[in-house]
């Protein structure tokens, strides 16, 4: 009975404290993400339940799962394990994404990959004294989706006389991956400075960042690949190298006694 009372009283407090610590640690990153994708997220969540209700459902599910584990195991061990299960379930449910979210994330990744080539093509067209609207349309027709249709639509808006800074800023707000390109083109449209050089530097910087990220992923994959090998050899090392030594020392100590 005492274990049940401890589980019912202490587990929610531990779960809330752990979740609050997680929110504090990730609050700044989440706020930056929210500012960058507020409009797109609002359109994607239109017609569905608000974020507050979703957060309450995730928290309730995590608490119920933690209580079930705590009641099943009982005692202080059940309380600790239940708290860990509650935090894990809440984190998994918070990071689980719908198919629409996964498609949007994949589109942003493709836009990031296509950005260097698109910036270089824009620099070449603008360096050849082409109009900005013509250059954007030409690059949009030359690049595959998802970059091509977006640039073609933006070029059509520019050809119809839309304000360039407004068009580029809207593109950067809708697609955070294209924000550097949008800022570069918006500054050029406002100041009238040549944009071919900044676009080339942007392409080089994006390629350098992509190469650095690829090296990080390769190193992480190498570390993860050695983990199963270590788990396989560790029991053998303990059984062959440690256990005989411990048994020999124990036998010698027993004979001496």
- The band of 97, judged by pLDDT with boundaries at 50, 70 and 90, is low
Residue 195 CB contacts under 8 Å (≥ 6 apart), including other chains: 122, 123, 126, 184, 185, 188
Is the C-alpha dihedral spanning 71, 75, 80, 83 positive or negative?
Answer: positive
Has residue 216 been placed in a domain?
A: no
Has residue 183 been placed in a domain?
A: yes
Does residue 1 carry a pLDDT above 50?
no
Omega of the bond prior to 146 within 30 degrees of 0, cis? yes
Q: What is the pLDDT of residue 43?
A: 45
- Give the end of a domain, one of 177, 193, 209: 209
Q: Could you tell me if 66 and 17 are in contact, meaning their C-beta atoms sit under 8 angstroms apart?
A: no
102-120 as b/e, with b when 16 or more CB fall inside 10 Å? Answer: eebeebbeebbebbbbbbb
204-250 per-position pLDDT tens digit:
999 999 999 999 988 888 877 777 777 777 777 788 888 888 888 88
137-173 per-position pLDDT tens digit:
999 999 998 999 999 999 999 999 999 999 999 999 9
Q: What is the pLDDT of residue 22?
A: 55
Q: Which of 9-23, 114-128, 187-201 has the lowest mean pLDDT?
A: 9-23
Does residue 7 carry a pLDDT above 50?
no
Q: What is the pLDDT of residue 37?
A: 46
Residues 10 and 89 in one domain: yes
Please indicate whether residue 182 or residue 193 has the higher confidence score (pLDDT).
Answer: 182
Q: Which has the closest alpha carbon to 178: 17, 15, 40, 30?
A: 40
Residues 8 and 64 in one domain: yes
- The band of 27, judged by pLDDT with boundaries at 50, 70 and 90, is low
Average pLDDT, the chain: 77
Find where tokens 């062959």 sit.
Answer: 240
Has residue 247 been placed in a domain?
A: no
Q: Could you tell me if 84 and 67 are in contact, meaning their C-beta atoms sit under 8 angstroms apart?
A: no
41-77 per-position pLDDT tens digit:
444 444 443 445 556 777 777 777 778 877 777 777 7
Pairwise CA distance, residues 194 & 178, whole Å: 19
Find where tokens 């530097």 sit.
Answer: 201
Query: Taking residues 19-41, what's their average pLDDT?
Result: 48
Write out the E strands in 12-82.
none
Burial of 28 (0-12, 13-18, 19+ CB in 10 A): exposed
Residues 112 and 92 in one domain: no
Has residue 236 been placed in a domain?
A: no
pTM of this structure? 0.57
Pairwise CA distance, residues 11 & 83, whole Å: 6
Has residue 138 been placed in a domain?
A: yes
What is the number of residues in the chain? 257
Does residue 116 carry a pLDDT above 90?
yes
Residues 73 and 35 in one domain: yes
Q: What is the pLDDT of residue 80?
A: 76
* Domain count along the chain: 2
Q: Which of 11-25, 115-129, 147-161, 176-190 has the lowest mean pLDDT?
A: 11-25
Pairwise CA distance, residues 164 & 132, whole Å: 9
Q: What is the pLDDT of residue 238?
A: 80
Find where tokens 């260097």 sit.
Answer: 116
Q: What is the pLDDT of residue 203?
A: 93
Q: Which has the closest alpha carbon to 113: 217, 40, 215, 207?
A: 207
Q: How many CB atoms lie within 10 A of CB 7?
A: 25
Q: What is the pLDDT of residue 212?
A: 94
Pairwise CA distance, residues 123 & 99, whole Å: 36
Kindly state the percentage of the chain with pLDDT values over 70.
75
Has residue 86 been placed in a domain?
A: yes
Q: How many CB atoms lie within 10 A of CB 245?
A: 9
Pairwise CA distance, residues 187 & 181, whole Å: 10
């Amino acid at each position: 009975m005492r274990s049940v009372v401890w589980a019912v009283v202490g587990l929610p407090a531990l779960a809330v404290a752990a979740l609050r610590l997680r929110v504090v640690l990730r609050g700044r990153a989440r706020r930056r993400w929210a500012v960058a994708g507020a409009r797109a997220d609002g359109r994607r969540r239109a017609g569905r339940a608000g974020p507050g209700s979703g957060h309450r459902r995730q928290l309730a599910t995590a608490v119920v799962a933690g209580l079930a584990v705590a009641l099943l195991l009982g005692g202080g061990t059940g309380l600790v394990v239940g708290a860990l299960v509650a935090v894990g379930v809440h984190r998994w449910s918070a990071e689980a994404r719908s198919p629409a979210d996964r498609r949007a994330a994949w589109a942003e990744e493709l836009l990031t990959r296509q950005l260097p080539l698109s910036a270089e093509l824009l620099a070449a067209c603008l360096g050849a004294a082409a109009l900005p609207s013509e250059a954007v349309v030409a690059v949009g027709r030359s690049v595959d989706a998802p970059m091509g249709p977006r640039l073609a639509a933006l070029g059509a808006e520019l050809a119809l006389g839309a304000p360039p800074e407004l068009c580029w800023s809207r593109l950067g707000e809708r697609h955070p991956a294209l924000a550097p390109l949008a800022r570069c083109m918006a500054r050029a449209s406002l100041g009238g400075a040549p944009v071919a050089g900044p676009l080339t530097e942007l392409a080089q910087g994006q390629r350098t960042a992509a190469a650095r990220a690829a090296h990080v992923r390769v190193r992480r994959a190498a570390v993860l690949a050695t983990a199963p090998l270590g788990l396989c050899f560790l029991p053998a090392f303990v059984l062959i190298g440690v256990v005989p030594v411990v048994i020999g020392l124990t036998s010698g100590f027993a004979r001496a006694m």
